[in-house]
Chain A
């Protein structure tokens, strides 16, 4: 492939545009397509939430963008980041981008920091790998980052190992590490799921502050619709490896257009008065080897008809900019609350 040249995007174009991204794994001569023609875009400085349950393919799609999937993954489609094609990049090119223009923070801050190096060592390494410069400069930058993410006595704590930090503090270190090279896109994969709610609200607040200060875009992978409502601008809902709906959060939470989105919103305890039974989505997500070729949600959908189980359902772009994958979306009127 040709060497991509880095051209800044225009103010209006998306920073990241993913089109028909598919990921499949082959094991025991069986191929499972766990991500199937996923498309979404992230605007500069904005936050896109990717919501889905376990097995929806939300994490696999985001890791595919930065080359963090195992070699056995077969990735097709396109993901354009600031004019560069991410799919098909060599490992060397990926390394130049990862941790620099695109950074990732993960769910488990304990396993994503290296336990045998000091925090300062990891931070300065990340800085010097991409920016070069002296150790002294890198150390100053590392200290600045720790201060920025709200860690008291940053200079002293640079010499400590990850185990000396609490869960919330470790996630702050992880954020400092991800942001030390001022990325334009941050991929946050369930960054607060392992944390207590009080610590979660600190981290969400911090991410929003840093986003405003640094102007980066965030791809926020989560299963928590409350988190989506509090930090995202747009949301993309994934089900069984496909995007089923994408919309701005206000429209989405007021009027979901896909029955799965409606089911999710209604199953939240907030949507029914106390004392009433919670709404449920019956059944479970099918396994990737058993994804139907037609609508993948049809088996659990209260609105399913014959048309839903006949052909593959296309992802339809609506006039108001929303995107939905459902044959009946025109006739169905859905509410987040029942």
Chain B
């Protein structure tokens, strides 16, 4: 039932940024199915649909936040975009060029435009390489640039991320976590990419250094106009850093929209629960607010629930939810939400969930 076979007539492009210009990145029905292999012959016994029909756009210079729990497929999505792992379906277009058709030299050339920053700056930097080699490697790989020229470029990059020429010959172990993440950002910037995929770039950092890296990323966006896919599980940081937010659950995007709208007036019950679960650093707010405690764990993507994949944990679930997977519908605020509450039952028709408070939520649709 999760098979997205009826997509021959592509619906309205979902999650288009506000302005009408052609997006930098256009992702449609992106899909990744991992085979589960068992036994001596490594026979495939089952499949995991890690990313199942994900569509979104990123405009030039835009920051799209991608949030979700572990296992939601948000990191897999990030890696699929750069083809660090191969998609099994769908399309990825960068400036109108289909990336899935590219191979070898062509693919390498496109990767100049898309770079990645990983979560853990302790394992993503070669401990035996000095900063000059770490940040300068892209120049060598792509342009075979001589050392002297390379080092000059590296110094410029280090200055952009708040480090300096004196760090050139140092090794990763001599830096703190925040500084290492700056080095990773400098490396990602080396080839002047149009898009950076940042996979949990601040999760491994201490709180006082998290904001240093978040600010650095927004500065770079402003100065260099680089677009960013900001993958994280901390909604307050994603809200702050992003123009728009996409919420993922079990391989699919359940809601996407303007960052303020999604954060303050979520339209999908899962977005609402996710936002309400994150504690706020204010004891007065903490005591007074209503917290939605989700029952149970996220289901296994090996055996996803029928219909809407969120229905077993959803406080608003109706009969239809276990039978039919909801299609994305537009929200009043200009985003999109995939939830039956907006089309059946109490029919929110794109209004925020908060407006449900007077409505009986368990009424069958």
Residue numbers of A with Cβ under 8 A of B are 53-54, 166-169, 196-202, 204-205, 223-230, 249-250, 253, 263-265, 267-272, 274, 277-282, 284-285, 336
Of the listed stretches B109-117, B193-201, B274-282, name the one at the interface; the rest are far from the partner chain. B274-282
Contact partner of A269 (CB less than 8 A), chosen from B212, B239, B279, B285, is B239
Residues of B contacting A: mostly = helix
The docked-state distance in angstroms from the alpha carbon of A312 to that of B273 is 47
Chain B residue with Cβ nearest A192: B279
CB pair B208–A229 under 8 Å, yes or no, is: no
The docked-state distance in angstroms from the alpha carbon of A265 to that of B282 is 10
The docked-state distance in angstroms from the alpha carbon of A11 to that of B240 is 45
The docked-state distance in angstroms from the alpha carbon of A321 to that of B239 is 37
Task: Give chain A nearest CB distance to B198 CB in angstroms.
Answer: 15
A267 proximity list for chain B (CB < 8 A): 207-208, 210-211
CB pair A223–B294 under 8 Å, yes or no, is: no
Chain A residue with Cβ nearest B238: A269
A205 proximity list for chain B (CB < 8 A): 291, 293
CB pair B279–A202 under 8 Å, yes or no, is: no
The docked-state distance in angstroms from the alpha carbon of A274 to that of B65 is 14
Chain B residue with Cβ nearest A56: B206
CB pair B284–A250 under 8 Å, yes or no, is: yes
Residue numbers of B with Cβ under 8 A of A are 69-70, 176, 178-179, 206-212, 214-215, 218, 233-237, 239-240, 259-260, 273-274, 276-286, 291, 293-294, 297-298
CB pair B281–A278 under 8 Å, yes or no, is: no
A200 proximity list for chain B (CB < 8 A): 277, 279
Given contacts A267-B211, A269-B240, A270-B236, contact A201 B281 (CB under 8 A): no
B240 proximity list for chain A (CB < 8 A): 269, 272, 274, 278
CB pair A224–B279 under 8 Å, yes or no, is: yes
Given contacts A169-B297, A278-B240, contact A270 B280 (CB under 8 A): yes
The docked-state distance in angstroms from the alpha carbon of A271 to that of B298 is 31
CB pair A274–B260 under 8 Å, yes or no, is: yes
The docked-state distance in angstroms from the alpha carbon of A223 to that of B279 is 13
CB pair A54–B277 under 8 Å, yes or no, is: no
Task: Give chain B nearest CB distance to A283 CB in angstroms.
Answer: 9
The docked-state distance in angstroms from the alpha carbon of A269 to that of B260 is 13
Given contacts A169-B297, A198-B69, A270-B236, contact A226 B206 (CB under 8 A): no
A228 proximity list for chain B (CB < 8 A): 281
13 A–B contacts, CB within 8 A, in A order: A169-B297, A196-B298, A197-B235, A200-B277, A205-B291, A224-B207, A226-B281, A229-B285, A253-B283, A269-B237, A270-B280, A278-B214, A280-B208
CB pair B279–A280 under 8 Å, yes or no, is: no
